[in-house]
Structure 1
Amino acid sequence: MDDGNPDLERALGRAWTDDRPWDLLTRLTELPDRMGGSPGERKATEITREALSEAGIADVRIDEFPMQHWRRGTTEFAVLGSETASDDGDGATGIDRSFDAIALPYSPAGDVEGPLVDVGYGTPEEIDEVDLQGAIAVASTTTPRGQRFVHRMEKFGHAVAAGAEAFVFANHVPGQLPPTGALKFDAEAAVPGVGVSRETHDWLTEYAERGARARLRVDASTEDGSSQNVHGTVGGEASHASENSSGQRPRDPETDEEVILLAHYDAHDIAEGALDNGCGIATAAGAASILAALEDDLACRVRIAGVGCEEIGLLGAEALAEETDLESVRAVVNVDGAGRFRNLKALSHASETLAELADDVADAFGQPIVHDPDPHPFSDHWPFLRAGVPSIQLHSEPPTGGERGRGWGHTAADTRDKVDPRNLREHAMLTAVLVRELTRTSPPRVSADELRERFEEQEYVPGMRAADVWPTAWG
């Protein structure tokens, strides 16, 4: 690795004092919200466009795409006594208690009453052990260590398949913080779902054991809407090629290869979205400034993209992948989670070449890096990875001893005060160096057979089917 390049050294030197990533994060977190399809997300698109243009990215443009716009509305959640419980002090008779809850994205409107059933962590095995027919299922947001992480959409899908009429997603992080998170991708879910705090979860597990019933009312709505992606290019001869009348550049196989660096800029409407994913888009914008300073040193074009609607279905990434000639994409770098904590984490998604490259960058610059080689489908790399494009997700590792899960993410506590500007700068530098090296590398494609085998090894297949994200082409 040519880490003694004077142009690179100058670009990295300037990055130590670059306040633009922090300024972008600040402008985004000042918005009322950045929920997919909302006026706030549209404003965030403009802010991101300005940031990429100021970074020196060429031909920055905004592309609109259709989506299903979900509105959260109001939620009422109460625990009631059981008709069958005795009145000797041990049963649930006489309970009539309301708790704070928030609807989960793509929850339908509904009014459900049924037995309250605790399914623990919501793993498939735990759901199989209880009777959920007509019930309101309660599942924790985390998964025990030593087991693969079970995503919210999988827990929901298994609960619905087992007969649940409603789903309660209970935070494992204290602080009276009901969590949010989509139940489906870009479509209304089958039954209502809500998030409740850890403190509420403590009561619900007890009430479920005592045979209580619960009632859940949600008035959320889903309607046709639109969102946007913002992207531009730097480096490579094709970055300056003219567009045709349809707004697309004619492809030249000799010069039109590219590396895509992307991050989502949307966030849930209950918080500032500083960690998820204000840090990610700020890190990507900081990397863009460095790459612009190294334009003549890039061996192929780099596309920098801020994508919308990740939180409700990877919709912006899907739209970007659909309009891109994926045969021309050498690799995708998805910045989702970088910039949050001190040490960078690289998820190489079954690509040994990308894992080795991340190691090389970390070694060359004396930075620790945490590895995870296993693929997953729950971030913006997925529309590219499932088509065989080598993809790496840049995340960051929480302090030692931290619990599994999102932490402050997807709650009202996801605020700017949790962010250290130094992490944004340093992760932007590492991201830029990684992308620069990728323009000199041609990682092998990731085959569908290899991905399928890796998902089977992780026992992901039933969960992906339950979450409705298993590719139909894979059978």
Structure 2
Amino acid sequence: MKKIYFLLLVFTYTFAAHAQSADEATIKKIYDEALSRGQSYEMLRELTTKAPARLSGSPNAAAAVEWSRHTMKELGFDSVWLQPVMVPHWIRGKKEVAKILTKKRGVVDVNILALGGSIGTGGQGIAASIVEVKDFEELKTLGEKGVKGKIVFFNRPMDPTLIQTFAAYGGAVNQRGAGPSEAAKYGAVAAIVRSMGSNPEDYAHTGGLRYAPNVGKIPGVAISTNHADLLSQLLKEEKDLQVYIETNCEILPDAPSFNVIGELRGTESPNEIIVVSGHLDSWDVGEGAHDDGSGCVQAIEVLRIFKAMNYKPKKTIRAVMYMNEENGLRGGIEYAKQVELRKNTKEKHVAAMESDRGGFTPRGFTMSATEEIENKVKSWKPLLEPYGLTDFNGKGGGADIGPLAPLGVPLFGYLPDSQRYFDYHHTQEDTFDKVSKRELELGAAAMAALTFLIDAKGL
């Protein structure tokens, strides 16, 4: 009996070692393909050249839809289709103007960008006194007496002591999203928000605002970090200075657009679906290279790598290019809606992954799943650590795949190094030349490696 037990033990260890060795070999092939014959970088060059500034509802967003559909068809994916979705249509109009009107220094020009979804001032502009606040509590303390008829200047920087820059962003971004409506409650005529940037910069960062229901709408703009510091200093020197802002943005009726979807059909369990994804839209400044052209081409590259390796997935691997993450999340919501409508069919989403943190050096993955699933993924770390994938502790997946969470789908977010991301986020500087070919390819390989493990081992 002991001898039989011993032989079973030897067989078990031998089988496990062989499986580990086979997994290591496949992952090595994935990286070899991505780094030697990868196409993600050239795909990104094409996307940012043919369709930069892909704000939802715009002609460039439509061009990006067609580029994605054509690219995935040319790569020979088993199925490629468009999923209709209605999206917000906001336009910036002609370039914004902002001037600080001082008695001591005269007129000082500063750089601003209208916040996405904001109403415009029109050609007449707005000139008013400034009141500076750090947060909503300070605004509330000032009340209508201290705010009415003025422009509120929200000047709380991202916390530079936080190593995780997304945590710093999260600690500051509410003043951009909700600041204009909060200021309007007390009678402000406009809101200026310090840009969500990590460093001293002359260029501004745009981003979306959300008007609260039953509150009057006022124009909202972001000011560059350098000029925010200048405005704050000038306010200390001259309490009654004024600022003039002029924006010409418009909110138009919703427009038709599409999510773009391509897939490789599973050979054993085709109704079980693994999603890899990015969002196709970007802001209307820059080229949307890191945010989120990188994520889109990495998702497409995952499927291309598998085809090039002649890897036959057990489950269906689906690349999804979501539309309208930046100012509405309509694409992610519509995709989840269609998944829910099919809940009585045999189709089941077993995992969803998103890349939306830029095309920087891979560090690991965030996860939102059951403890059992998270522990299983962490057990694969020995296979992934040789490729620099060591961080599996963060929570979350991605904004576009978030609507799948209530349907019980485990979510994964590609996690690259974040230290440079907010140099480019939502700015004119988010251009193709800021993306490293090798870093982008390493990210695509990382996503493919985790996708392979989910496919081969299951969750």
Question: Shorter-normalised TM-score: what interval?
Answer: 0.7 to 0.9
2:232 aligns with one of 195, 198, 205: 205
Separation (CA, whole Å) in 1 of partners of 2:30 and 2:112? 48
Separation (CA, whole Å) in 1 of partners of 2:116 and 2:338? 26
1:233 and 2:263 correspond: yes
CA offset digits 1:399-451 (Å, max 9, x no partner)? 5xx6xx722121111122221111122221111121122235665xxxxxxxx
Paired residues, number: 410
Separation (CA, whole Å) in 1 of partners of 2:413 and 2:138? 30
1:424 aligns with one of 440, 443, 452: 440
Show the counterpart of 1:79: 100
Separation (CA, whole Å) in 2 of partners of 1:279 and 1:342? 12
Separation (CA, whole Å) in 1 of partners of 2:349 and 2:31? 26
Show the counterpart of 2:192: 168
Show the counterpart of 2:14: none
CA offset digits 1:270-316 (Å, max 9, x no partner)? 10121111221121122111233567642321221111221122222
CA RMSD of the aligned region, Å? 3.2
1:109 and 2:135 correspond: no
Following TM superposition, by how much is the alpha carbon of 1:23 offset from its aligned partner in structure 2, in angstroms? Answer: 1.1
Farther-moved stretch of structure 1 (160-169 vs 351-360): 351-360
Instruction: Indicate conservation of the 8 Å contact 1:42/1:227, yes or no.
Output: yes
1:99 and 2:117 correspond: no
Q: What amino acid sits opposite 2:203 in the alignment? A: L
Separation (CA, whole Å) in 2 of partners of 1:61 and 1:219? 36
1:184 and 2:210 correspond: yes
Q: State how 1:75-474 maps to structure 2 within 5 Å.
A: 75-81=96-102, 95-110=106-121, 111-120=125-134, 122=135, 124-125=136-137, 127-128=139-140, 130-131=142-143, 133-134=147-148, 135-140=151-156, 142-145=158-161, 149-150=170-171, 152-153=173-174, 155-158=176-179, 160-162=181-183, 163=186, 164-171=188-195, 172=197, 173-184=199-210, 190-209=217-236, 210-211=238-239, 212-224=241-253, 225-237=255-267, 256-293=271-308, 297-325=312-340, 327=343, 328-338=348-358, 340-349=359-368, 351-353=370-372, 355-356=374-375, 359-365=378-384, 366-368=386-388, 369-375=390-396, 379-399=399-419, 406-440=422-456, 443=459
Identity %: 21
Q: 1:389 to 1:165 in 2, by over 3 A?
A: farther
Q: What amino acid sits opposite 2:395 in the alignment? A: D
Q: 1:48 to 1:186 in 2, by over 3 A?
A: farther
Separation (CA, whole Å) in 2 of partners of 1:342 and 1:58? 30
Q: What amino acid sits opposite 2:440 in the alignment? A: L
CA offset digits 1:358-396 (Å, max 9, x no partner)? 5445431312333453348x7212222244422111131
CA offset digits 1:17-51 (Å, max 9, x no partner)? 22410111001111342221111111112222233
SS in structure 1 of the partner of residue 40 of structure 2: helix
Following TM superposition, by how much is the alpha carbon of 1:63 offset from its aligned partner in structure 2, in angstroms? Answer: 2.3
Q: State how 1:50-69 maps to structure 2 within 5 Å.
A: 50-69=70-89
Separation (CA, whole Å) in 2 of partners of 1:177 and 1:109? 20
1:42 and 2:53 correspond: no
Separation (CA, whole Å) in 2 of partners of 1:356 and 1:297? 26
Instruction: Indicate conservation of the 8 Å contact 1:231/1:303, yes or no.
Output: yes
Q: 1:118 to 1:375 in 2, by over 3 A?
A: farther
Separation (CA, whole Å) in 2 of partners of 1:73 and 1:13? 46
1:4 aligns with one of 12, 15, 22: 22
TM-score when normalising by structure 1: 0.76
Separation (CA, whole Å) in 2 of partners of 1:396 and 1:48? 23
Q: 1:159 to 1:18 in 2, by over 3 A?
A: same
SS in structure 1 of the partner of residue 147 of structure 2: coil
CA offset digits 1:169-196 (Å, max 9, x no partner)? 3234334211111113999993211122
Structure in which a larger fraction of residues adopt helix: 2
SS in structure 1 of the partner of residue 36 of structure 2: coil
Separation (CA, whole Å) in 2 of partners of 1:255 and 1:397? 34
Q: 1:156 to 1:229 in 2, by over 3 A?
A: closer
Instruction: Indicate conservation of the 8 Å contact 2:29/2:309, yes or no.
Output: no
Show the counterpart of 2:45: 26
Which sections of structure 2, spanning at least 5 residues, go unmatched? Answer: 1-18
